[in-house]
Structure 1
């Protein structure tokens, strides 16, 4: 159960806040003594709970559960919203995470407002949205076609790769940007996810050279490079680089300041 995954300190905090919350105490009393048969007979403060009254129970700890989800008292709702958004997922992802573990009335609206007001998320939003750069045929299976690219962030070199089918992406740091190092990193990714049929890259020296071309051939992959014949072929990798930098920048901004 979800309640079993709450730490002892959080459980005590929830118990105290639930006991001090008049709305939840009224709700608990109604759950114990039975609901009226009509919604208009329910006290207005808890009428919003009436449609799913059969899902509501009280745990041995005195917490109110909606199925397996814990009802969060109003004073703690901002704290739990912040916890749910601590690694800055988008609004829908934050709401999906919340729906699995907690509940309170207007929870979705509160999360939407919090995410839209998040200074870090807003500082990382692009100023304008471009049309998708992808111009090649969408594959029929994951990791069938991938795009790769190199980028540098905060003085560190990275290799980024993205899957055309699922839009999944990954990136890893590089000790150097030689073709040999890039190939070793890709072999590790291929061992985990499978060997792609098509690899798309730009015309950087590491990718256009004989060593990388031989690697792709030996692994039975078709290697396509950006060229006048494929003017937008590396759009996937460019998008992945932006997403990777976006994530790295968010993580950096979330780091606590160094002690004096």
Structure 2
């Protein structure tokens, strides 16, 4: 398989070949050449299917038999007709290339590998490679599959083709059950798999996403959710529910409860905001800075005009958290209450 670059140069992407079986060696030459085309398309199916590509062959009769714009010759052998039907599923052009210019593909036929040994299909290799990522071995899974009655029954149903639903999704590799690329885990090994999935305390959704890449069993999502709910670490560090908001009771008279905060700087100036919870009256003072010493004279002025409040509510920030301010309130006979949300509610409209 090759790719042609914009400058016209052709570079190989992959090479593939196999030896003919004893029965295939008895094919006529034209059918051997056709078999090579069909086998190559099956080998590189995921690369060429759905794309336009060019088939090069050094056997010129095939350019007429497999021409996508032509018709299958009625006198063609049955095998060639079957190959032509298979090729109808591809978007291709077929071109003749003489043998002298076909060396990149011809090389593989000159150096055959007669002993195939035990090479697996690529999909089988990928499936089995998934097992290497698990904390248990392939042998353990296969052994427990044979021991567990339910798993063994499922194994036999797949082998014999008796599985009632989605049988095309299941396969057997090395004694293990696969659903797609995910290996089926027998009940005796599920606790260990769940423990591995939850090792980083990823949370329910991330654990499910991870599990979908490697393992499968019925109700696996429910088992993951149950494990997370019972995990002491997850419970301890789970996001705490929002606290119930308790509203202030409405005061019975003016200046019983006041809310204080600062605004600014605006043009280099800070403002002290004092809001009466009863009348919503607001006092605004321009203060030089946010220290307690600079703010106390303005509190004394406001208290001198309206009286001493029972409760002063602040966000417990800056000058409101100092010992000097606490001593001032004690002197006035007022108490302090910290409630940031109430401060925002009362004073933000005046900022």
TM-score, normalised to structure 2, is: 0.29
Larger radius of gyration: 2
TM-score, normalised to structure 1, is: 0.38
